[in-house]
Amino acid sequence: MKRYLALLLALMLITGVAACDGNGAAPPEPQTSEAEAGPADTEEETVENPPILRIGALFALSGDRAAIGTDQKNATELWLDSRDGRIGPYEVELIFEDDTGSVDEVIGRVQNLIETEDVHILFGAATAEIGYAVGETAIFAGIPYIIPTVTADDMTQRRRHELLIRTGGTSSQRTHPFGHWAYRERGIRTVGTMAGDCLLGHEGTAGFVRTFEEAGGRVLNQVWTPPDSWDYTTFLDQIPREADALFLQYGSQDLNRVLAAIRGTGLDMPILSGFGVVDAYILTSFDPNTAPVIYSAAHWTATGDTPYAAAFTEAFRTRFGTLPSIYAMEVYTGLSILEAAILEADGFTENFAYFLRAIHTVEVQTPKGLVSIDQWNNPLQDVRIHRGERGDNGELTSVPVYTFSMVGQFWRYDPEAFLALPSYDRYFRSR
């Protein structure tokens, strides 16, 4: 397979992740693609009149997730500017839409992107509910949907489709190895769990619980909190203080509120988070003298523990004055994988069917490491366990302590046996 150093231009800049569930009917099958053999022979376009590739990008640009959407939009523009607005021979037109957080409203906006703006690709969205709606609309229209941050497991499992191409990862993809590590490598024997009562919380917690219990661990209790809660203190009071650790599964603004409540209650047991708690932009809110021991399963950290991560972080911080979040990183990564597949297929609009096959043949160096796409259209990627530690300047920083290489969405389970089981939910226990 070919490897594309998709962040090479990001290096030149320096020198010169879902909420509640959305269920629906199984998606319809797409129409058969015309091109089946391979790259087509097309006349070379002149520089003065390059072919256009239109990408409809849906980000949360209003409401309580607007900070995330703005971060994603910034990363998209940074990526495109680093390539002078082009992917191979194509001039890229980005058409931004607010995903609004409302399924009914977003479907209308997606239809506008498809029917009025005539986009070739859909990209983005933040939550599972919105992601499923965008996916079904894309399938009906017969165009690809690149999914950088919607983590709903079944989009690339029981409800997978060739036009749904995830580049970010599933809710349980990080937490499967995390549960294994907590018992086998960290020596944790008992945990309490606390998570949002939504798809991200259900799936991420189930992934952790499954491998932790299979290794021999014991879950003392599970606490579920309503999405977008403001006061988590009473929920933290339900965690048994005799537990060896507390496992958390939250995303976006909920995570910051939970961490604030932990600081307020003085809870001092180790924290295990399945969603980037030790990312640098979150650690800055902790007092390094009183912070509990924090471990997190993540695909990357903004402190830049690889050359590609460091390049992206520096380019983003130089331009926007802040550290990039995991959401910004996943958008940047998704566009890099899209680019690699288009280059491998020697086109997109002319070689559409070949592009859909090429997505499975490329390996791309990204801010989170080497990424490839499996036969179910989900990434194979490293999962790194990080620990928050005090740096030389006295501030908390994120330090990688263990890496699981090229982890897939099925962990070490047989895919057919995995898919034969019911989807993960809030009631899942391995025993």
Q: For the chain, which residues make up each domain, given as ranges?
A: 2-170+305-381, 175-302+383-420
| Cβ neighbours of 100 (radius 10 Å) | 17
Residue 14 has pLDDT above 90, yes or no: no
Say whether 175-302+383-420 and 2-170+305-381 share the same fold: yes
175-302+383-420 fold? Rossmann fold (3.40.50)
Q: What is the CATH number of domain 2-170+305-381?
A: 3.40.50.2300
For residue 12, name the pLDDT band (cuts at 50, 70, 90).
very low
Evaluate whether 348 touches 355 at the Cβ level (below 8 Å): yes
**Which tens digit of pLDDT belongs to each residue from 219-256?**
999 999 998 788 899 999 999 999 999 999 987 678 77
| pLDDT greater at residue 394 or residue 162 | 162
Q: Give per-residue pLDDT as tens, 292-302.
A: 788 989 888 77
Output the pLDDT for position 64.
Answer: 80
- Calculate the dihedral angle through the C-alpha atoms of 158, 161, 165, 169, rounding to the nearest 10 degrees: 0
How many CB atoms sit inside 10 A of residue 137's CB?
21
Q: Which of 427, 357, 425, 389 is nearest to 1 (CA)?
A: 357
* Cβ-proximal residues to 257 (8 Å cutoff; 6+ apart), any chain: 229, 230, 232
Q: What is the DSSP string of 112-141?
A: HHHHTS--SEEEE--SHHHHHHHHHHHHHH
Distance CA 145, CA 287 (A): 41
Place of tokens 């239109």: 54
Residue-wise pLDDT tens digits, 362-401: 999 999 999 999 999 999 999 999 887 776 766 667 788 9
Mean pLDDT of the chain: 85
